[in-house]
Structure 1
Amino acid sequence: MTKKRAVPEMRGVSAFLSSSVEPDPGSTDSVATNAIAIKKIRLPAKQPRRFFDPEKLEQLVESIKQHGILEPILVRSLPKGQYELVAGERRYRAAQLADLQEVPVVVRELSDQEAFQLALIENLQREDLNPIEETEGVLDLLTLKLKCSQDEVFDALTQMATAQKKGVELSGNVSRRVEAIAEILESTIGLTPESFRTSRLPLLRLPVDVLEVLRQGRLEYTKARTIARLKNDQARQQLLEEAIAQNLPLMQIKERLKTLTATTSHQPTLSDRLVSVSRKVKQGLDDPKKRKRMEKLLQQLESLVEN
């Protein structure tokens, strides 16, 4: 991604950060530009951004040591002279690492929802956003803009796909919601609702270890998605580590995937074995001799699990 995107019905974070308007003492929504003690700023409980590249963060630290913070941080005021960070977390963290005592800020009076929405917008405008962060950020923005849950967003997209397949029209409420979703998706990541449903939402169902690697930007999306096909947890983790450490090309990952799939297909996981044994146990309950031995083994298993 090489450029920042527009965000629907919003001025954008830069409009707040770059404002040079003097504060109006009589207004509760005026812009104030100050330098405040960094120890007075706290992070919000809910933050859209989860991972910061250590190398890029260190580069920013060095830049701040030489040139200072060129773009102020957006905060909102809290009781007792404290402030909560709204946008600019990477600059805030780098300023801490650079041992700055004060940082330039723009202070805005914002509600909880407004603050989180602005934080989401700044996150979506990042140039280094990966597909997982982008998908999760867009979903959060959709729920805020449409005042609904993520499940309701999923349901609207599913109903849309079903209606298209059957060649029928959507109900009025669902149709309006899909139109709103389409507008936001086009404005933020340039995808249609159907493309978002088929190419992005499945990302959130990837194994946890693969999701974490993608969030951290340690592996390309196409490579991570290929590795995710490996169902054996231990083998998948091993291949993930090898792909990252050796920077394996996609073709080589696919070759290793075939080998590992063939190897692990004959080695059922513990979970699979438990399910299989459970079925066989039910079949053997009619045998008195087997039933008595199974009762003893079950008692041992229950004791092991409880301890």
Structure 2
Amino acid sequence: MTLPLSSPASPRPATPPAPTAGGPAVTLHLSLTQLVMGRYRPRQRFDAAALDALARSLASHGVAQPLLVRPLEGGEPGEGRYEIVAGERRYLAAQQLGLTHLPAVVRRLSDEAALELSLVENLQREDLNELEQAEGVLRLLALRLGREVGGVRSLLYRMDNEAKHKVTQQVLGSEDARTVERVFAELGTLSWASFVSTRLPLFSLPPDVLEALRAGVLSAAGARLLGRLRDPADRAPLLAEVWDAPPGDAELRRRVLTVLGASRSQLPAAQPPAAQPGPPAARLTAWAHTLLGGRRWRSPARQARAQALLEELAQLLCAEEDDDAPVTP
């Protein structure tokens, strides 16, 4: 059922007392002046266009779902104040419309319960950016596991390395690992392995790139592109443009690749390994490290030439084996 909006011209009766600890939830019409934004929300930015659309919807259809709030201590005498646990966007849209009251479900919640409810409600929305989502998931996992966020990251990387058989299995199958799996199953957005490969690397980006991503002026794809520019002097001009007038990801990719190409052209040409005396196997090993460590295989011409040389080398090795074979009279 859609609840009616409260217009500035229709005052509400005094707010009844909040529910007692452990008692049932109570639905009230609260003044917007009694509400404060939640401390545990994963969303740090609110898109202006989306808020405009929500405000129009509220004006046309009313409030389809009340806010979830919890009472706060320390308010002014006779004035109950409430922290928003879920529904910040509805609150901001109501402010934009000039409304005075909103329906809200009031529940007594601990800090831990408020954090979990806020995270779950927000993480199931699709408009969080990847960094907000990653930070929210880590905070939810930290709450469930009783660990610091840094410890959660270490656990996830350990699980990933064990799943890839890079280290001895010690964590997979444990209660902590099962808790991680349950959390991702509840969220239903991506698996823990995908989270490790696509979200955790975001925290390794340079601080200036993370700042732009968190502010919403840069997409996650754009942040990964700019993160390829390790020199802050190379990033600074592009970041200045991003803050002023964000280019699309395709244009940003072109600009980043141009900067990377200019940087590489200024480097000295790679030199082949020194021709040292010794068995051919040792020299081949040195060549292999040089070739595999570079980016020389992107050119089709180089690939074709390398293939021809490898075939010639294979024939030579076979011929040497024939030379060593006993001669049949």
TM-score normalised by L of structure 1:
0.69
**What is the match of residue 98 of structure 2?**
99
Shift, 1:128, TM fit: 1.2
Deviations 1:153-202 (A, max 9, x none): 22222333444434633158x83212221221233244333332222111
Shift, 1:147, TM fit: 1.4
Structural mapping, 1:1-307, within 5 Å: 28-79=22-73, 80=75, 81-163=80-162, 164-166=164-166, 168-170=168-170, 175-240=174-239, 242=241, 245=245, 247-250=247-250, 252-263=251-262
**What is the match of residue 9 of structure 1?**
none
Q: Secondary structure at the match of 1:165?
A: coil
Supply the RMSD in Å over aligned alpha carbons.
3.1
1:168 maps to amino acid: T
User: How much identity, in percent, do the aligned residues show?
Assistant: 38
Q: Distance in 1 between matches of 2:264 and 2:21?
A: 67
Deviations 1:213-237 (A, max 9, x none): 3334444432331122112334324
Q: Distance in 2 between matches of 1:103 and 1:266?
A: 61
Q: Secondary structure at the match of 2:174?
A: helix
Can you give the 5+ residue segments of structure 1 that lack an aligned partner in the other structure? 1-22, 268-307
Count of aligned pairs: 244
Q: Secondary structure at the match of 1:75?
A: strand
Q: Distance in 1 between matches of 2:116 and 2:143?
A: 7
Which protein, 1 or 2, shows the higher relative CO under an 8 Å CA cutoff with sep ≥ 6? Answer: 1
Q: Secondary structure at the match of 2:185?
A: helix
Q: Distance in 2 between matches of 1:265 and 1:30?
A: 66
1:73 maps to amino acid: L
| CA contact 2:40–2:118 (8 Å) conserved in 1 | no
| CA contact 1:28–1:109 (8 Å) conserved in 2 | yes
CA pair 153-108 structure 1, distance change in 2 beyond 3 A:
same
CA pair 57-237 structure 1, distance change in 2 beyond 3 A:
farther
Shift, 1:119, TM fit: 0.8
Q: Distance in 1 between matches of 2:49 and 2:202?
A: 26
Q: Distance in 1 between matches of 2:249 and 2:166?
A: 41
| CA contact 1:52–1:90 (8 Å) conserved in 2 | yes
1:231 maps to amino acid: R
Shift, 1:207, TM fit: 2.2
Shift, 1:65, TM fit: 3.3
| CA contact 1:178–1:193 (8 Å) conserved in 2 | no
| CA contact 2:38–2:85 (8 Å) conserved in 1 | yes
Deviations 1:19-52 (A, max 9, x none): xxxx9x8883312111111111122334321010
**What is the match of residue 284 of structure 2?**
none
Can you give the 5+ residue segments of structure 2 that lack an aligned partner in the other structure? 1-16, 267-329
Q: Secondary structure at the match of 1:69?
A: coil
Shift, 1:143, TM fit: 0.7
Q: Distance in 2 between matches of 1:122 and 1:256?
A: 38
2:122 maps to amino acid: N
Higher Rg of the two aligned structures: 2
**What is the match of residue 280 of structure 2?**
none
Say which structure is richer in helix: 1
Q: Distance in 1 between matches of 2:34 and 2:218?
A: 37
CA pair 60-191 structure 1, distance change in 2 beyond 3 A:
closer
| CA contact 2:221–2:249 (8 Å) conserved in 1 | no
Q: Distance in 1 between matches of 2:171 and 2:194?
A: 21
Shift, 1:241, TM fit: 5.2
TM-score normalised by L of structure 2:
0.65
